[in-house]
Chains A and B, each alone.
Chain A
Amino acid sequence: MTQKRTDIRVISHLAGRRHARGLIRMAESGALPLRNDNDDPAVLTLFSGKDQAGVGELLDHPSSWAIDLDCGDPGKGLTRMPARLLLRLSTVSVLRHDAVGLMVEALCSRLPRLISIRDDIHLALQEAVGNAVIHGNLGLDGRLRATREGLLAFTQVMHRRSDDPRFGHRPVTIAADWNQHHLVIRVEDRGRGFKPSRIPVPIKPTAPSGRGLCHIRALCRRVSFTAHGRRISMRFALP
């Protein structure tokens, strides 16, 4: 099989970073599974999530993978994530930027027929990324939000942990792949994982937590968990 060429775009002031050099080597050797339908080279963008400017254009064509170099070990596991579109951001960057909006825009620009299910994809992906950040990488228990005092404690711990590099630099990865019939979006975190219930549990309107997974199950054709609950795969039927 002929290996497709990967073009690499590195925001200039980051080119000397240790992780940038490692990722460039991986891309040049063909180790990163960037998938592409045509003969155009796939474009990998390396950036810093601390930068405010230009983040909104990270996945503009022809860029198909974008990796935040502020993540701890930003190349880890990427060789096992074949994807046409991939966005990896640190937890802090996800809290700072609208990563989900960015991904949904990029998906709709490549697959215009998604427009009719755009809101469903947006909400399902938002819930998955929210779970990856809050319960995964920051290790927070949503049940703490049941009372006002608990909500205050929840937000205080959230603030403290997002400022702590051991939590704040953990990456959230959003990877999308599709064929003629289906779109599959995977979201992965580096938290402790969890054991999802096999049977959907109905959520009362007054429940303080647990609503996100319920929404995801309602909006997707199929949902599955791997990597001990650290990775969710959401399958949507293409209109």
Chain B
Amino acid sequence: MQYEIKTGSDAIHLTISGRLTFAEAIHFPQVLSELAASPSKGPLEIHLSQMDFIDSTGMSLFVHIYDWTQSVGAKVTIHKASGPVYAALDRAAFNTLFEFK
């Protein structure tokens, strides 16, 4: 798993690539801390075009992101999830939590 957080004037951009599975869970608190420390209070744009695979532990990161954005009133959009990643997120009914583009 690799990730990058960029804060723009209009939004926070989180790009995740590689695999997001139980083996990467150790990095999740760091991702959440960096997001929470971001100076922008705009929407969160999550870019997944380079993500290869996600499992249910990986999905729990998105649940935490959802909880955090609900607490600060930010909207979340997931961009370019495809293949097995989109299928897994769809199976978990994440379209009820996030907008997909």
Q: Which residues of B contact A (CB under 8 A)?
A: 19, 21-23, 25-26, 28-29, 32, 53, 55-57, 59-60, 63-64, 66-68, 83-84, 87-88, 91-94, 96-97
Interface residues of A in 196-220 (CB under 8 A from B): 203, 205-209, 211-212, 215, 218
A155/B25 in contact, CB under 8 A: yes
A208/B84 in contact, CB under 8 A: no
Please pick, from A95, A96, A155, A211, the residue contacting B92 in the complex, using a CB distance under 8 A: A211
Which residues of A have CB within 8 Å of B94? Answer: 205
Complex Cα distance A52/B84, Å? 27
How far does the Cβ of A128 sit from chain B's closest Cβ, in whole Å?
10
Complex Cα distance A119/B92, Å? 15
Q: List 23 A-B contacts (CB under 8 A).
A: A94-B23, A98-B19, A119-B83, A123-B84, A130-B21, A130-B22, A134-B25, A148-B32, A148-B68, A151-B32, A155-B25, A155-B28, A203-B92, A205-B63, A205-B94, A205-B96, A206-B97, A207-B63, A208-B60, A209-B60, A212-B55, A212-B56, A218-B91
Q: Is A69's beta carbon under 8 Å from chain B?
A: no
Please pick, from A123, A151, A203, A205, the residue contacting B28 in the complex, using a CB distance under 8 A: A151
The 3 closest A-B pairs by CB, nearest first: A211-B56, A130-B22, A212-B56
Q: Is A178's beta carbon under 8 Å from chain B?
A: no
Q: Is A152's beta carbon under 8 Å from chain B?
A: yes
Q: Which residues of A contact B (CB under 8 A)?
A: 94-96, 98, 119, 122-123, 126-127, 130, 133-134, 145, 148, 151-152, 154-155, 158-159, 203, 205-209, 211-212, 215, 218
Additional A-B contacts beyond A148-B68, A206-B66 (20; CB < 8 A) = A123-B87, A130-B55, A130-B56, A130-B57, A148-B29, A148-B67, A151-B29, A151-B60, A151-B64, A152-B29, A155-B29, A158-B25, A203-B92, A205-B63, A205-B97, A206-B67, A206-B97, A209-B60, A211-B56, A211-B92
How far does the Cβ of A53 sit from chain B's closest Cβ, in whole Å?
19
Main SS of the interface on chain A? helix
B84/A122 in contact, CB under 8 A: yes
Please pick, from A122, A134, A205, A218, the residue contacting B57 in the complex, using a CB distance under 8 A: A134
